[in-house]
Homo-oligomer: A and B are copies of this chain.
């Protein structure tokens, strides 16, 4: 008999499979989750399973208290971070975590990714933020839960809106990315890696390259996201 979460698992499964296809992960790295707001739960990749072996029925369903409510496998070790973000940010529908190389490099350098061009501005109008590494007492505690807290607090303290900035680097670790649904979140994960690579190359060519000027930031963002947006089909 099919699980009542069959469709949710399938969406989550297909989103996870995109990560290796887009060269955002190797081996067992990374994970995608998809939320079901009505049932207050989310689907997430099981921990440590290589993508070629992953099956839709392996996807684990977890509630917002991190309890497995459907599925035979252990959920991703990053599950508590996903749960915390879903709890605090009720506008997001899916979360992606990768260890894609350029995004990780900026995380390991503990630097946000500066907005250097219109490719960046088409997606967000700020630098991609980098949350500093956690304080030691939090690391020793409930680490993945506290990673969620750190991200949410950083957004709050810096007046960032998760609807406008759909990605973050966790210092010394790597990126978390989200979106209104699984396709958007995976799209954003792909865009982040590309922006991280472009910023890397730009600063290698010209270390003193300057941030995109305000008028161009505003223009590119508005054509995709403003009230008179004319990018896309709606």
Which residues from chain A sit less than 8 Å from chain B, CB to CB?
Answer: 22, 26-27, 29, 46-49, 73-74, 77, 99, 101-102, 104-111, 116-119, 133-134, 136, 139-140, 143, 172-174, 187, 190-191, 194, 197-206, 209, 212-213, 215-216, 219, 223-224, 230-233
Contacts and interface: CB of A to CB of B under 8 A. Distances in A.
A47 to B, nearest CB: 5
Contact of A136 (B102, B104, B111, B215): B215
Identical copies of this chain, number: 4
A118 B48 contact: no
A233 B199 CA distance: 37
A74 to B, nearest CB: 6
Contact of A105 (B49, B105, B201, B216): B201
Contacts of A213: 133, 136, 172
Given A191-B26, A200-B201, A209 B77 contact: no
Contacts of A49: 233
A82 B74 CA distance: 36
